[in-house]
Amino acid sequence: MADAPDAEPTSPELSRSERLFLRISIWQTVLSVVGVFIGVVALYAALSESEAVRRQTAAGVWPYVQLGVRDYVAVDDALFELSLTNAGVGPARIDDMRVTAGGAPVTTWAGLIAQVGAPGASFSQNAANQRVLSPGETIPIFATRDESTVRALRAAVADSGNAIEYCYCSIFDQCWLADSRSPDAPPEPVRHCPDYGNASFSN
């Protein structure tokens, strides 16, 4: 008599406690994933808000330094004056300047007026490098009333080979570089002010 074929093994059914434990484990996994997702979203929101606050604060102390030129020649008087004005809403630190005349850097106002053909002329000056300008403050950095010098400097301003470059920073060390050859262009944001080295203007 042939033996009866072996019956196929059947998987043991999970007990009630095992099924309950499995359901709890699944829900714990789902809740963990949801918790991580919520944490990531919250972190992103906090970072975005922090960046928005930082930008708003930086905008609240944004400086804007403009170079002004005032000149005239009258019957009995003449004036050529250069000034820096902070038209922004925060203090500005003037980091460095470079003055170019005739295509070459000059490092003093005496050197400038000699370059334009008026050596020995009288003038007044105020130091600008490393100076902090308050919002709305204006400082005249150079002035002369010598008529021949005024005429020479007026002609020099119209020469594209002559320029005044200056770099300034906010209290958050955000810096901008300005160039007198581009009076209508906004100052260029830079990571750091350039080091002009021996070409730095030492007024």
The parts of the chain modelled with pLDDT lower than 50 are 1, 10-11, 58
**Beta-sheet strand order (sheet of 78-86):** 65-73, 78-86, 138-144, 124-125
- Render pLDDT for 61-115 as a digit per residue (tens, 0 to 9): 899 999 999 999 998 899 999 999 999 999 999 999 999 998 899 999 999 999 9
Q: Say what percent of the chain tops pLDDT 90.
A: 55
Domain ranges for the chain, please list them.
Answer: 20-59, 65-199
Residue pair 122/148 in contact (Cβ under 8 Å)? The answer is no
What pLDDT score does 48 carry? 63
Q: Which 3-state string (H, E, C) describes 132-145?
A: EECCCCEEEEEEEC
Residue pair 73/82 in contact (Cβ under 8 Å)? The answer is no
Contacts of 73 (CB under 8 A, 6+ apart): 147, 150, 151, 154
pTM over cut 0.75? no
What pLDDT score does 59 carry? 53
Three-class SS state of 104:
strand
Decide if domain 65-199 falls under CATH 2.60.40.
yes
What pLDDT score does 37 carry? 75
